[in-house]
Every structure is written in C-alpha cells, then in structure tokens.
Amino acid sequence: MKVSNGLWKEQLAGKMPEGLAREIDIFEAEINLRKLGKLEERVFAEKRLRRGVYGQRYDNGQRHDGAKVQEMPYPRRNLTKGPNTLWDAPGMQRIKIPGGGLNASQLETLAELAEEYSDGIAHITTRQDVQLHYVHIEDTPALMRRLAAAHITTREACGNSVRNVTTCPYAGVCPDEVFDVTPYCMALSKFLLGHPDTQNFGRKFKPAFSGCSQHACALANMHDLGLIAVTRTEDGKEARGFATFVGGGLGAVPYQAKLLEPFVPPEEVLPLSQAIARVYARLGEKKNRSRARIKFLIHDLGIEKFRELVLEERKQLEFDPRWKEYVADAESYHEEPLKPGRKLDRSGSEAFRRWLETNVRQQRQEGYAVATVTLPLGDITASQLRSLADVVRRFTKETVRTTVEQNFVIRWVSEDDLPELYEALEAAGLGAPGAGTIVDVVACPGTDTCKLGISSSRGLAAELRKQLIEKSYQMEEAVKNLHIKISGCFNSCGQHHVADLGFYGVSRKIGGYSLPHFQVVLGGEWANNADHYGLAVAAVPSRNIPEVVTRLTGFYAANRKNGEPFREFFRRIGKAEVKKLLEDLARPPADEAGRAAFKDWGDPRDYTLGDMGVGECAGEVISSTDFDLAAAERQLFEAQIAWEDGEVEGAAKTAYQSMLSAAKALVVTECPEAPDDPDQIVREFRSRFYDSQKFFDPYAGGKFAQYLFSAHQKAGASYTVDSARYLIDEARLFIDASHNYSTRTAAMTAR
Amino acid sequence: MEFQHVNVKVLLDHASAVDLEPLIPVFHNWIQSQSRDELLLDVADYRHVRAGPGVVLIGLEGNYSVDNAGNRLGVRYNRKAPLGGSNLDRLQQAARAALGACREFECDPRLSGQLRFDGRKVEISVNDRLLAPNRAETRDALEPDLSAFLQKLFARGEYSLAFNEDPRSLFSVAVESAKSYSAGSLLRNLASQT
Ligand code: SF4
C-alpha cells in the first residue's frame, strides 16, 4: 500500500475530468465506509466491481502450498472486500480501453501504474482491456486518479454492466472494411457508460463493432451486441449502417448472435442500443446468474419476439440529443499519419523479413502499413510500454491499439520506416515475429490469478509457445496459420470456442489423484466474425496437450485435401477419428509415480481443486462413480457424433441420457439402490445434491445442476439443430461438474 | 524527503545463460515454510517476457524476484508496504532482503550455484514517483542517506554511481563497487555497528 496514496488527489486536481474525479472520490468514500463497517460487504463488492476492482485467486485467505492448505495470516482477517474476499489480499484492476485505442502518454501512465502498484506487468485481455494484478484495494483510488488524468476510466470494467466496447484494431485502415467503425464505437462507449438504463442488468453486456463481416477482428458474432458495418444505396447515394446482431456469447455454452436488424442507420445505433439495454434490464433474469446473460433471454423469447419488444421500446424512448450529436462527425473522422507514405524498397535482415511476413499488413492507404507488436501471453513490461510510447511518437501520430489477440498494433507507419521501426521494437524486446500464427497463443489468466481457473492456461500457453517457436521454421504454411486459444475453465475468457485448436481447463480424478486436464475443442471458426464454434473432442491431461497439438497438426498437414481449412478438415475426418488419434494421450500414466509427475504447467505443487489436499488414497481401484461417469462420457460422445451426422433428435435424447447417467453416478454414492426411473433420479439428485448445495460449484453455484433440471423438464420435446447443440454443451458441463464434485469430495475425505 | 518503497537489486554473474525454471519450486517452498519475516503469497512466472520481471515471489509487504529488467539479471526486493524509521533504515532493510535472498539462492542445491552475486553491482530505486520523482532535487535530497548507506555497505570502499536520466523512470541509480564482495560479506557490513 503506497504512502503517497493520499497525495494524488491534490497533485492531480484540475487535471482529471470533473465527472471522473467525483466518481473516484465517491469510491474512495465507499472504501472508507467499508473499513468502518458501514457498508455491507455484498454492496461493496458490486461497487468495486463496477470500478473494475476484481478479486484474485487465494483472496479468501486460503492457498494450497503444495503440502497443505495454508491459512494466509493477513493483517485484517475480519475486514472483507466482499463475501469470502479478504481486504488485504491482492486483487486485479481492469482498465477499460474502448476500441483498444491509446496514445503515447496513456501508455506511459499504464507503465507507471504497472510498476508502482502491480508486479511490473500490464496484461492485455481478449477484450482489448488492460489488467494489472496483485493490486491492493487501498491503492486503487490513487491508481484511478492517475488514469483519469490520462483520460482513462475503469468504470464498469467489471460487474453487471456494459463492458468495454471493442472494435477491429484495423478499423479505418483495413483494405476490406466497409467503413471506419471507430467513431461509432467511441460514441456507443461514451453514451452507455454510466447510462441509467444500463445500471440494472442481471449480468454483463458486451458490445463489439466490426468493419466487415468476413474477418474476425472484432468477433461480432460472439457478443451480446454485435454491429457490423454495411452500406446501402439511398436516393442514389451510398448510406452507412450496421447489421445489428444480439445474443451471441461464449461462456460455458456458446451462442451465435442472431440478426436483429439488417440495416440500422448511424443515428439509430445509440437509441436502438438503449432500447435493447432497457428490454434486457426489464426482462432479463436477475436471480439465477447462470441464465442472466441476454443470450438466454433471446433464446427463451425467440428473436422475433425480442425484436418486437425492442422496437416497441425504441418507439417509447424520450428523445436524447446525444443520439445524433455523438455520431454527427463520424463520417469525417479520420486519423492522420506523421510522415508521408512511402513504399519499402529495402529488403533488410533475415529477422526483419520474417517479422515483416507475419507482423505487417498493408493499409488501405497507399504507402502505409500496420505493424503488430506480438506480446507473449498478452504481457508487456513497464519499460516496454515506455519504449512503445517512444516508437509510436517517433513513427506515427500515436496511433496504437490493443487487439483481442492480446497484442498491440501500430497504425500509419510509412512502409519505408518499417526496418527502423522493427529495430526499435526489437531493441525493446518487442520484435517477435509470428503475429496471428500458431505461435501467437491466446490465453486467459487461468489458475495463475483467476479464482475460477481449473487448469493453468498460461502455463500451457507458455509451454506451447516455446515448443512451437522452435518448430515454426519447418512448419507447413497451413499449420502456421492455425489459431490456438486456451481458457482455464469453461467460462471461455480465452475464447477457445473460436480457435482451430481450443482448450479449456477441466479436472479428472484418476486412481485417487486429481489431475489437471484440458478439454480439446476443435474446428471453431475465427474468420467471418467467429461464425462457428468448435466441438469438444476429449479431455486430455494438461501434460499431454503439447503432444495433442503435435499430433493434430501433423495429421492435418499430412491428410488435408486441396487447401482445406482446419475446420473443414475436422468436419470431414469426423470426431470419432480424431478421438481415436488422441485416445492414448487422454489416458494418464497407469502408475502412481507417473501420475504424480503429471502436475500442471509452470506449477510444481500437487494439483488440487479449490485448493484442497490431494487424496491420499492413491489406490489403483477405480471407484464405481468413476466407472459410471465414464459411461456418461461415452453417451455424450455418441450424442455429439449423432449431432454431427445430422440426427438432431437422437443427439438430444442421448445427451439427456448422459446427464441422467452422471446424475445417477452421484446419487448411488449416497443411495446404492438408486432407481433407474428418470423422474426419481432427478428427484433424488435434487434433494441430495442441489437442495443441500453440495453439488454447487464454488463460483457457478447451482448452474450446472439446473442444466439437468431443464433438460429433464424438456424431455420428449423436439429439438432444433441449435438447441440440440446447446443441450450437448450443457451435458458436457454437467458431466464436468460431476467429475469436479467427485474430485472435491475425494480431496475432502482425504483431509 | 521521506523515501518509501525502496527497491534493491543485486546483479548476478554469468546471467545470460541462467535457467529460472528451478527457481519456481524454491519460491513455492519459501511460501510453504513462510521463511521470511513477511507474508509470502504467490509465485508469478514471467519467464516468457523478454527483459521482464522473471520469476516473482509475491508478498504482502514486499516482492522478491530474479528479474531481468534492462537485460540485467538480478535478485530484486521491492518493498511495497510502508516502513517506519529513517531513509537509511529503509535502504538497509531492502538491501538486507535482496542480499539475504541472493545468499539463499547461492546455497540452494536445486539452483546448482547458477544464481551468484556478481560481487560489485547493485541497483537502487524508489518505487513511488510522487515521493521520489526522477529529478535532481530527489538526488540531492537522497544523497546524504544514499552515501551513508553505500559507505556502510561497501565498508567505506570505493564505488561509482550512474543515475538513470530518463525523467519517466523511477528514481534509480546503478552502483558499482571498485572491489568485489560476496553477498555474505555485504550482509555482514550492513550488520556491523560502525
Ligand atoms: S476462462 Fe475461467 S479461468 Fe480463464 S479467466 Fe475466465 S473465468 Fe478465469
């Protein structure tokens, strides 16, 4: 905690926008009230979340140190930042960067904050935000004031609010875009920030803008609100507009967004978004967090009804002059270069040429290029941020943006300057090639710092990156261009659903040992604004994932036909074939010593879930629960195959059966004579595991059990391709949760 | 002027070839045994970042790391919590923490003697731009405490100073002693009464 905290307010007086300064004063007062016990912990938790102040792993004061669960003796054990969140435990600060746009002095401010309040690293997220980790809550007002003085806010970076509005980092310079969406992104961001109609959501709400529909830069299809630039001819003139999509989202069960309106004129973007927000706030689920995202509301109502409600709401809105004001100058918005655009006429060193090949794209404007600064795992040091600030001042008019692939792009570089720009980046340790290729692995924070992490996504990403860089010189072009994305759990912050090779963390208990695994998800689509989501193939121990990548990429390189993209290749080959290819890797070592060596990447501690002790009973006997859960897995696999073959009803029925099998596997642990009748299984499961909250995930609560209840309620109903797919995903999560429950109970018994 | 949040980094020998992976279990063991006077919390692995913080042991009062900032590998102690006493006391506390950690690394068989003090180079910074902006006034204000500290550290031996001139950087100075010392002997110098 900094001694200077109290001094920044005076130091920065007059330098912060008034509104931001006042909000931070209020937040500081709330901190003080909480310290005095005058603000209830739950209320305070939501207040801080809305200021981007997030919890971090082990902030409940417990940490498994490799031998035992340690109670961390924080000084103020009775003071909390929220339920089970100790005051002095470090947390994460998320910083909103609308559209990812920054200038040089903002980069320098971020550098200062990373150095003084965090561990020297700023982390770029998959939604163009910046995160600082290990920050003390009492440092946050000073940190926010320094950001405010640089015109950056953390407001509504977390919590049930409108999150960062993202956009293509190439907007305005992309040869394929319909028009520059940047000013609309900024307008929506400003309009919705703190808007009274966005303060009463049941969950978060994520908007994104894309300049075209064929590229993936903004991933509009996986957002709550996705706006894609389109034009049409009106009175002989080209008019701008947005194809507007709603209800997309990754999370545990990914949903593709649905088209709300094919053409929304610019002056309608803000009021229509406001109307969507109002309908969501009014009708969206509030109590059950697991069904509170707008995608569930739209799914339940149907897009037609939702559209009707939104349009009705739009009609009722009182006129707001900002709707037009904020977009009035959008058509004349443009960035300027620092230097005249000149073609590159030198070849440069081999290292430069390698970097040029992967990290540079030509702009729509002749003679200019966009250079990508590849950040390993999205991390950049304070001194690199300062060097980046120097680079963007030297070569551009400070036109730099973060990307959803956790990199930076520098726009408006005169092509002739590229060799010098590369040298400057390389000198700062920022000249790595491989942007947007297989080595540019995307990963969420995972078990490193996230409270929900199940497996080490960053540990795995670092390992894959290391291995793939070594191999990249001999890699086939088709393999080089694949995308790998990793999430530490089913929540999908690493966006694994839209990667060619995606992975998300799960745990499995084998022979009394809990082992970190990743579910392998293949064939997601990154192009077309993330138009298709991948399919789960098998859960494989973390340690074997690098070999999974080697095998799959080798198999693809050897067997693809006529330039077939990975997704199509995977569809053609089929899941069963791929599963066979990975079968041996999915099996952890049979012996105890081998299993003990199967720790998570980058973490030498014995693996535990929820930081409970590892089971001592490492006997070879597989429990009947494990057998029964394996049977549920098999049924689910059959359901997925049936779905792939177009047998929608059969797939849904088998997926439901697999959930019943998993539920029964747990019921028999308490009631060996459990019946086979679905009603009775569900009733028993509900009373023994749900009502008692035993099955509850520490963070997702009863969400996964509710998947079972809803599938049971719908048993016999007919399914569409989409709803069968959702059911399969929900069954996957229910079975994973059953494994997790089994792992947790084993660890508790051992303790 | 009160200087808080002092950082001391002692530079390591033959640094370019050092593999930091074995350090990770060492830091986890430190947490396990809570072997310092401070609360040790977690390990952050930044080996993938070039010229970055390396491997960091996150503590409540301070962080320990083997960091490679500026492509200079060294054992760093970063004091986070406020500390009473004088500026000299705070400089000494941070130096003792960094040197003590360094000495443990030198003796830990898991690290195979890879992390060894280079004998001469120490970097000192103040991790708070408001208390210690990187300008001449700060240098002047810290000068008496800094020289008293360095006199003691190097037992009145000769040393040279190179201040970081970038106004955006933390107030920081690189110190190089004319004579070579072991980490243990510097610790003894700090402990001596003279
Ligand atoms: S995917 Fe899971 S582990 Fe990763 S950041 Fe999101 S919630 Fe945390």
Average pLDDT, chain B: 96
Tell me the CA–centroid distance for residue A215 and ligand 1, in Å.
25
Mutate to test the pocket of ligand 1, among A126, A456, A457 (most ligand atoms within 8 A of CB): A457
Residues in CB range of A343: below 8 A, 6 or more apart: A367, A415, A416
Looking at residue A522, its pLDDT comes to 95
Other Cβ atoms closer than 10 A to B120: 18
Indicate the pairing of strand A400-402 with strand A360-362. Answer: unpaired
Other Cβ atoms closer than 10 A to A25: 13
As a whole number, mean pLDDT of residues B13-33 equals 90
Residue whose CA lies nearest to ligand 1 atom number 2: A489
Q: Categorize the per-residue pLDDT at A612 as very low, low, confident or very high, splitting at 50, 70 and 90.
A: very low
Residue A132 DSSP SS3: strand
As a whole number, mean pLDDT of residues A365-394 equals 98
Q: Are A67 and B69 within 8 A, CB to CB?
A: no
Whether A378 lines ligand 1, by a CB cut-off of 6 Å, is no
- Partners of A94 in the β-ladder: A131
Looking at residue A623, its pLDDT comes to 59
Give the pLDDT confidence of A295-334 residue by residue, as tens digits: 999 999 999 999 999 999 999 999 999 999 999 999 999 9
Q: Are A379 and B39 within 8 A, CB to CB?
A: no
What are the start-end ranges of the H helices in A403-538? 418-427, 457-471, 477-480, 527-530
CB A652 within 8 A of CB A723: yes
Whether A452 lines ligand 1, by a CB cut-off of 6 Å, is yes
Listed by number, the residues of chain B in 91-120 with a beta carbon closer than 8 Å to a beta carbon of chain A are none
- Tell me which of B126 and A490 has the higher pLDDT: B126
Q: Is the pLDDT of residue A50 over 80?
A: yes
Tell me which residue of A47, A330, A4, A77 sits closest to A185, measured CA to CA: A330
As a whole number, mean pLDDT of residues B147-171 equals 97
Q: Can you read off the two tokens belonging to residue A152? A: 């950056």
Looking at residue A624, its pLDDT comes to 63
Distance set, CA A742 to CA A50, A59, A69, A464, A667 (Å)? 35, 24, 19, 30, 11
Looking at residue A611, its pLDDT comes to 53
CB A500 within 8 A of CB A447: no
As a whole number, mean pLDDT of residues A676-680 equals 90
Instruction: Give the residue on B whose Cα is nearest the Cα of A463.
Output: B48
Instruction: Give the residue on A whose Cα is nearest the Cα of B5.
Output: A2
Helix-then-strand count for chain B, H and E: 4, 8
Q: Is the pLDDT of residue A215 over 70?
A: yes
Longest Cα–Cα distance in chain A: 80
Q: Are B31 and A459 within 8 A, CB to CB?
A: no
Give the pLDDT confidence of A61-100 residue by residue, as tens digits: 999 988 888 999 999 999 999 999 999 999 999 999 999 9
Looking at residue A287, its pLDDT comes to 80
Give the pLDDT confidence of A561-606 residue by residue, as tens digits: 988 999 999 999 998 999 999 999 998 877 777 776 788 998 888 8
Q: Is the pLDDT of residue A620 over 70?
A: no
As a whole number, mean pLDDT of residues B75-88 equals 97
Quickly list DSSP for A235-298: TTEEEEEEEEEES-B-SSS-B--EEEEEEE-HHHHHHHHHHHHHHHHHHS-SS-GGG-SHHHHH
Residue of B2, B25, B51 lying closest to A429 (CB–CB): B51
Looking at residue A251, its pLDDT comes to 80
Tell me which residue of A694, A693, A734, A695 sits closest to A711, measured CA to CA: A734
Question: B28: which chain A residues are within 8 Å (Cβ-Cβ)?
Answer: 65-66, 604-605
As a whole number, mean pLDDT of residues B124-133 equals 97
**Residue carrying the six token digits 């950049």:** A380
Tell me the CA–centroid distance for residue B148 and ligand 1, in Å.
49
Q: Categorize the per-residue pLDDT at A384 as very low, low, confident or very high, splitting at 50, 70 and 90.
A: very high
Q: Can you read off the two tokens belonging to residue A317? A: 């809105």
Whether chain A has a CB inside 8 Å of the CB on B11: the answer is: no
Instruction: Give me the domains of chain A, ranges plus CATH numbers.
Output: 8-149 (3.30.70), 173-331 (3.30.413.10), 350-427 (3.30.70.3340), 437-621 (3.30.413.10), 622-751 (1.20.120.330)
Residue A362: is it exposed, middle or buried by C-beta count within 10 angstroms (0-12/13-18/19+)?
Answer: middle
Whether chain B has a CB inside 8 Å of the CB on A74: the answer is: yes
Looking at residue A609, its pLDDT comes to 66
Report how far Cα A33 is from the mean position of its chain's Cα atoms. 33
Exposure string (b/e) for A496-514, b if CB count within 10 Å is 16 or more? bbbbbbbbbbbbbbbbbbb
Strand arrangement of the beta sheet that strand A91-95 belongs to: A53-54, A91-95, A130-135, A121-124, A379-381
User: From CA B77, how far away is CA A381, in angstroms rounded?
Assistant: 17
As a whole number, mean pLDDT of residues B178-184 equals 97
Average pLDDT, chain A: 91
Among the residue ranges A504-513, A557-566, B87-96, the one predicted with the least confidence is A504-513
Looking at residue B194, its pLDDT comes to 66
As a whole number, mean pLDDT of residues A426-449 equals 96
Looking at residue A588, its pLDDT comes to 81
Longest Cα–Cα distance in chain B: 45
Looking at residue A749, its pLDDT comes to 56
Whether chain B has a CB inside 8 Å of the CB on A62: the answer is: no
Indicate the pairing of strand B171-177 with strand A62-64. Answer: unpaired
A294-301 and A303-316 helices, crossing angle to 10°: 110
Q: Can you read off the two tokens belonging to residue A417? A: 């300057």
Whether A55 lines ligand 1, by a CB cut-off of 6 Å, is no
Q: Is the pLDDT of residue A650 over 80?
A: yes
Question: A605: which chain B residues are within 8 Å (Cβ-Cβ)?
Answer: 28
As a whole number, mean pLDDT of residues B40-47 equals 97
Q: Is the pLDDT of residue A627 over 70?
A: no
Highest mean pLDDT among A380-389, A649-658, B10-19: A380-389
Q: Is the pLDDT of residue A614 over 60?
A: no
User: From CA A598, how far away is CA A511, in angstroms rounded?
Assistant: 13
Residue A22: is it exposed, middle or buried by C-beta count within 10 angstroms (0-12/13-18/19+)?
Answer: exposed
Q: Is the pLDDT of residue A179 over 80?
A: yes
Looking at residue A641, its pLDDT comes to 81
Q: Percentage of chain A surpassing pLDDT 90?
A: 76
What are the start-end ranges of the H helices in A164-231? 182-192
Q: Percentage of chain B surpassing pLDDT 90?
A: 95
Q: Can you read off the two tokens belonging to residue A471? A: 């191999």
Q: Can you read off the two tokens belonging to residue A330? A: 């959008």
Q: Is the pLDDT of residue A747 over 70?
A: no
Q: Are B58 and A465 within 8 A, CB to CB?
A: no
Whether A542 lines ligand 1, by a CB cut-off of 6 Å, is no
Looking at residue B15, its pLDDT comes to 64
Q: Categorize the per-residue pLDDT at B47 as very low, low, confident or very high, splitting at 50, 70 and 90.
A: very high
Is residue B120 within a helix (H) or strand (E), and if so which, with residue range?
Answer: strand B117-126
Is residue A231 within a helix (H) or strand (E), and if so which, with residue range?
Answer: strand A225-234
A346 phi and psi angles, rounded to 5 deg: -125, 150
- Partners of A261 in the β-ladder: A244
What are the start-end ranges of the H helices in A609-686? 624-644, 648-670, 678-685
Q: Percentage of chain B surpassing pLDDT 70?
A: 98
Whether chain A has a CB inside 8 Å of the CB on B69: the answer is: yes
Other Cβ atoms closer than 10 A to A75: 12
Distance set, CA A263 to CA A303, A518, B168 (Å)? 16, 41, 48
Tell me which residue of A240, A181, A182, A243 sits closest to A528, measured CA to CA: A243
Residues in CB range of A709: below 8 A, 6 or more apart: A682, A686, A690
